[in-house]
A and B are shown apart, each in its own frame.
Chain A
Amino acid sequence: MTLHIDIPEETFSSILAKAFRNTAFVTGFVITLLILAMAVVSYIWTPYDVTKLVISDKTQGPSLAHWFGTDHFGRDILSMIMVGARNSIAVALVAVGIGMGIGVPLGAFAAARGGLVDEALMRINDLVFAFPALLSAIMITAIFGPGAVNAIIAIGIFNIPVFARVARAGALAIWPREFILAARAAGKSSTQISIEHVLPNIATLLLVQGTIQFALGILAEAGLSYLGLGAQPPMPSWGRMLFDAQTRMVVAPWMAIFPGMAIVITVLGLNLLGDGIADILDPKSRRQR
């Protein structure tokens, strides 16, 4: 018996078309793209040179010459935000990447094996979790020397237990479901089941956690930079700018407002993007739109 099958398959372009009908996704996508574009442009051109101090222009409010004003060394805030975007985004993204890349498989594995393995893994997890993240990051950078790369690794390590926990909790809720039993009856190994059935079902959870961790990553990087353990001056970073502004809040509020806005908008954009992707990936919402 032969059966003819010609059904329009769900292609990449059809998914893309659906994605662009999703408002949250489009908004998040545009914002993220703009921030990324800004970071890229900063390599070629910035309104002013951020390494040059012009003391005569110090702490000026927003004006036509300096749209976002200048800091206490007379550097242009807009230029600093543009250059700082590279640093903050890179650090936060890679840190989340490390956390997800190691934490999620770890959590999924713990949930799949259960018993002693699970117990042991999660207790080690708790141990890492118990250290104040920033303190340990300081320790790591103190040992290996300050710098953007070490900051990334330090923040990344402390993202691992967060993702491991979220992944394990989500996976534990999926494992007793009947379709997992059906997959086991079909002879699939627990690794295969974890990849094919468990991970897609907890993807939403992980995406949301990922955007939260991204925001925390930017803040952690800010903290490290403030202590002189992150990006080294004169390289600007958003966190550093915020901390510099701290003592001058009253006299020069723009010094805090604009980097703060940059962080808020980036995090908002990524949250929307994460939400949108979660929506698009969910088959239930897919055809109803």
Chain B
Amino acid sequence: MSLLEIENLSLTIGETQILKDMELSVAPGEVMGLVGESGSGKSMTALTVMQLLPYAARATGRVSFDGIDILAASEDQMCALRGDDIGMVFQEPMTALNPVKTIGEQVAEGIRWHTKTTRAAAEERARKMLDRVGLPEAKFPLSRYPHELSGGQRQRVVIAIACALKPKLLIADEPTTALDVVLQAQILDLLLDLVAESRMGLLLISHDLAVVTEMADRITILRRGEVMEAGDTARTLSEQLHPYTRQLAQASMHVPARARPHDTSQGKPLLQVEGVTRDYPGRRASLFRRAPTIRAVDDVSLSMAPGQSVALVGRSGCGKSTLARMILALDKPSAGTIRFRGETVTGKGEAELKPARRDMQVVFQDPYGSFDPRQKVEKLVAEPLHVLDKKPTRAERREMVAHALHEVGLDQRDMDKYPHEFSGGQRQRLSIARAIITRPKLVVADEPVSALDVSIRAQILDLFAELNQKLGIAYLFITHDLTVARAITDEVLVMHDGKIVERGKTNEVLDHPQSEAARALVTAAPDLHRAIAKRMQEQG
């Protein structure tokens, strides 16, 4: 008998149809993967099961959990279920915990509420649960506050809260999307262990096909609120009968077609970073004492040739973004020099930097945050033009913006729109248009595709590759996603604790990593091919 059964579920919010005839079931001890792109209704499915839908939502159909009709259940009944029989893990560990309460209080809260035990008994159970999720007493007493923990540790606390009462069903909505690959692998392992231990059903929601393939027994593929295909994970993904399944699988393994890499052996290097170090002063511990300084980047040297595409990979917090900011002269190194086109950029004033700025642009990770919401596309894309020696006239400016938009595959009419009128993928195209409008020699891209859906991601990677060929732009890709590095770069630098620990040709490093840090990244990175192969093997 199934633990959770969803039949003919349709959901509308206002006038918009979110889900249409949705079918899904989870058996005890089973991992069900729910895959879809953003806006496909994955999270809304989870919220329907929890009855935490927004006010204007109307759900019809049948949702039964353990014999209880969820859609007809009263709020009191749902309160008894939530946190007790159904647990939920959210995506963002930074915001899912209350910052003013200790982790002990937060784990014990649900236990006390549902079992009506004493505080001491609840705290004892909370302690056991935290031990179980890998936060031992010696280092993580109950009195810790969320801000004292890292992202991965916080997600462990969230899991402890969700699993504290041994729920029959755990819903994990993108539980690892905000974490780097190594932490992702650890958290996924933990979830699998918990499922095996207590025969819990797990509904794993993710946009990442590789993650779901590694985890799930069965898989449901959702598109625009409709189930496209559902069934056994290995069979569904190896046969790829449904065109949409095939499309998703291909997009997540997409490698842009790139002609030979540019001839990089000769000529002057475009960028030279020599012995760069960046220290941050420690927090003031008391009036007279500071905590020791934090060394974010430690004696890093690298060099890039014109037209070359280089990946800088590493776990979160390894200093790769700090290094990028220093290269872009947005942050000053504590020691060392950075030379761009043979000229030193470190320690120069903004006026002297103008010529360098012209040839050096940036694409940020968050397509939503990197545009001023109050300005039109024309002004936003034209922003870098202001470093030109000769200010273009208004007509010239519009012409240049139209040209840049055309190059990234957008319509020139888009220039009179505001950023919020574009989707995430389109905004990332706008970011790229802004970066190439001055015809730079170097573009630094900080996780440019990690916030995008797989199919959009494939398109953006294609665009990067195309512009590299056409305009000869050198890229420095900063990423924790090895598929991106593999897809688009010639060389890779692996960074760990502020140091570059390994460098070489992308394929060689990723296939035969030498350093420990690189090995950890490679083994933890989800890979669809490998995951399908493993699944097939298991089933014989």
Contact = CB atoms under 8 A, between A and B. Distances in A.
A9 B365 CA distance: 31
Interface stretch (A18-26, A156-164, A181-189): A181-189
Contact of A7 (B362, B380, B413): B413
A283 interface: yes
Nearest to B366: A178
A200 B372 contact: yes
B418 to A, nearest CB: 4
Nearest to A181: B330
B434 interface: yes
Interface string B401-425: 0110010000011011010110000
A196 B375 CA distance: 9
A165 B420 CA distance: 29
Nearest to A3: B402
A197 B369 CA distance: 13
Interface in A95-147: none
A284 B353 contact: no
Given A182-B364, A184-B330, A283-B420, A201 B415 contact: no
A1 interface: yes
Size class of A's contact patch?
20 to 34
B223 interface: no
B434 A7 contact: no
A116 to B, nearest CB: 15
A10 B377 CA distance: 13
A5 interface: yes
Given A177-B369, A179-B369, A284-B418, A186 B374 contact: no
A289 interface: no
A283 B418 contact: yes
Nearest to B437: A186
A192 B383 CA distance: 11
A186 B379 CA distance: 12
Size class of B's contact patch?
35 or more
Contacts of A192: 386
Nearest to A201: B374
B385 to A, nearest CB: 8
A9 B413 CA distance: 10
A184 B384 CA distance: 9
Nearest to A188: B386
A201 B330 CA distance: 22
Interface in A70-94: none
Given A5-B412, A10-B416, A186 B384 contact: yes
Interface string B365-407: 1100111111110001001101100000000001100110010
A187 B354 contact: yes
Given A10-B416, A181-B330, A287-B421, A187 B373 contact: no
Contacts of A177: 369
Contacts of B350: 187, 189
B134 to A, nearest CB: 32
A5 B354 CA distance: 30
B496 interface: no
B272 interface: no
Contacts of A9: 416
B330 A187 contact: no
* Highest count of chain A CB atoms <10 Å: which of B360, B387, B402: B402
A179 B371 contact: yes
B523 to A, nearest CB: 32
* Highest count of chain A CB atoms <10 Å: which of B328, B360, B370, B387: B370
B109 to A, nearest CB: 31
B402 A185 contact: no
A287 B419 CA distance: 12
Nearest to A8: B416
B435 to A, nearest CB: 9
B356 to A, nearest CB: 9
Contacts of A178: 364-366, 369-370
Contacts of A184: 330
Contact of B420 (A2, A187, A284): A284
B386 A187 contact: yes
9 contacts: A179-B380, A182-B370, A182-B383, A182-B431, A186-B387, A187-B386, A283-B373, A283-B420, A284-B373
- Give the top 6 A-B pairs by smallest Cβ distance, nearest first: A187-B357, A283-B418, A186-B384, A178-B369, A178-B370, A200-B374
Given A177-B369, A187-B358, 15 more contacts: A1-B403, A2-B399, A3-B399, A3-B403, A10-B376, A178-B365, A178-B370, A179-B369, A181-B362, A183-B372, A183-B383, A185-B361, A185-B384, A201-B374, A283-B376
Interface of B: 328, 330, 350, 353-354, 357-358, 360-362, 364-366, 369-376, 380, 383-384, 386-387, 398-399, 402-403, 406, 412-413, 415-416, 418, 420-421, 431, 434
